[in-house]
Amino acid sequence: MAFCIIFSSIELSIAQVTSLFSEGVLDTKVSMYGVDLSPLTDEANGTTMKERMEVLKKKIPAAKAEALKTKIESNPMMGLAMVLLPPRGTIYLKKDVVLGKIYGLGYYLEHYHNLQSDEGVIYMSSLEEPLTEATASYQPSKGYEKVYSGNKMIHADQFNITKESGSVTVAGYPCQRSIYTAKNLNAEAPSSMAGMTTPIVHKLVVYTSDKVSKSINFSHPYYLPEDHGILRIDAYYDESKEPSAVYEVTAVKPQTVTDELLAVKKSKPLYAIDDVTYGMKVMTIMFGGLSSLKDDQDADDDTDAEE
């Protein structure tokens, strides 16, 4: 999820920037090859993926739209990356309790993480078929290997990590950049979805702020061994100089977060995170997102053929 860097002396006082952000709301978005994908999850842009895609195409330069289409067609993993990286999200934070509400291509997801009660819950539903849903639970104290499996769980020993000096501002907060470069690109990491492979990470550029609680990191698409809050991740799935995808926090809003805002959706039955049935349901929901994306691409191909 290129990133928009927000400088706002009006909305963010010096006191807020110099003190730890541990309660409030954060907004996130994803861009791929410089194209902001968040309009694809906005109901104001249409009820179907095709309608939203048409709105997106009108909002971006034709050259960027064509470049993104070419990238996806040349590498099937890019289409999968569009589904796995949620274009838009909202994170509710209250000290050690966090709820991420994520709007993906064809699906909606909530991730609740509570260190105090040692409770984690992930709820997912299909936007194409709202009655298709699944919920799983886990205990944070037992680790996160089953939650962020495959290459979503970033292990420090698998990357060369360089910490850069200096500071970069993201969403009004000073951040340090860390560059994660993969040591071995030959090993394909299976995802948590029944053996599917996910895009191979060549490099990640991670922006962290010691002024933001690291509790928000559990709501990000990658789980990284960082001690401070992550506000931006540049993901490289090839050797290009431009990031394949950029995940970023676009707004940090200190405010009171009530228990109601931290309430996570749950469907029945409640599965264990490693239950095979749960994994199959998640795969079905995610494939719905892939299908909607493929249908739009097929429609474009048909239009091009007619012309």
Mean pLDDT for 218-226 is: 93
Question: Could you tell me which of 72, 70, 27 has the C-alpha nearest to residue 247?
Answer: 27
Question: Could you tell me which of 79, 123, 131 has the C-alpha nearest to residue 105?
Answer: 79
Tens digit of each residue's pLDDT (9 = 90 or more) over 270-283: 999 999 999 999 98
Predicted local confidence at residue 6, as pLDDT = 33
In one-letter notation, the amino acid at residue 172 is: G
Report residue 9's pLDDT band, with 50, 70 and 90 as the boundaries: very low
Q: Which residues contact 90 (CB under 8 A, 6 or more apart)?
A: 25, 26, 27, 28, 100, 101
Question: Which structure tokens are listed for 113?
Answer: 């993480």
Residue 81, SS3 per DSSP: helix
Predicted local confidence at residue 16, as pLDDT = 45
The boundaries of the domain holding residue 166 are 14-306
Q: Are 232 and 95 within 8 A, CB to CB?
A: no
Residue 221, SS3 per DSSP: coil
Question: Could you tell me which of 212, 171, 229, 249 has the C-alpha nearest to residue 20?
Answer: 212
5 or 219: which carries more pLDDT confidence? 219
Residue 225 maps to a domain: yes
153 or 25: which carries more pLDDT confidence? 25
Residue 151 maps to a domain: yes
Tens digit of each residue's pLDDT (9 = 90 or more) over 173-215: 999 999 999 998 865 554 544 445 678 899 999 999 999 999 9
pLDDT mean across residues, the chain: 84
Predicted local confidence at residue 34, as pLDDT = 87
Tens digit of each residue's pLDDT (9 = 90 or more) over 98-152: 999 999 888 899 999 999 999 999 999 988 787 899 999 999 999 998 898 778 8
Residue 132, SS3 per DSSP: coil
- How many structural domains does the chain have? 1
Does the pLDDT of residue 301 top 80, yes or no? no
Q: Which residues contact 236 (CB under 8 A, 6 or more apart)?
A: 201, 202, 203, 204, 205, 243, 244
**Residue-wise over 180-219: b if at least 16 C-beta within 10 A, else e?**
bebeeeeeeeebbbeeeebbbbbbbbbbbbebbbbbbbbb
Residue 61 maps to a domain: yes
Residue 6 maps to a domain: no
Residue 146 maps to a domain: yes
Residue 8 maps to a domain: no
Residue 280 maps to a domain: yes
Question: Could you tell me which of 84, 108, 106 has the C-alpha nearest to residue 291?
Answer: 106
Residue 245, SS3 per DSSP: strand
Question: Which structure tokens are listed for 139?
Answer: 């205990």
Residue 5 maps to a domain: no
The count of C-alpha atoms lying within 13 angstroms of the C-alpha of 98, restricted to the half-sphere facing its C-beta, is 26
Q: Are 242 and 173 within 8 A, CB to CB?
A: no
99 or 296: which carries more pLDDT confidence? 99
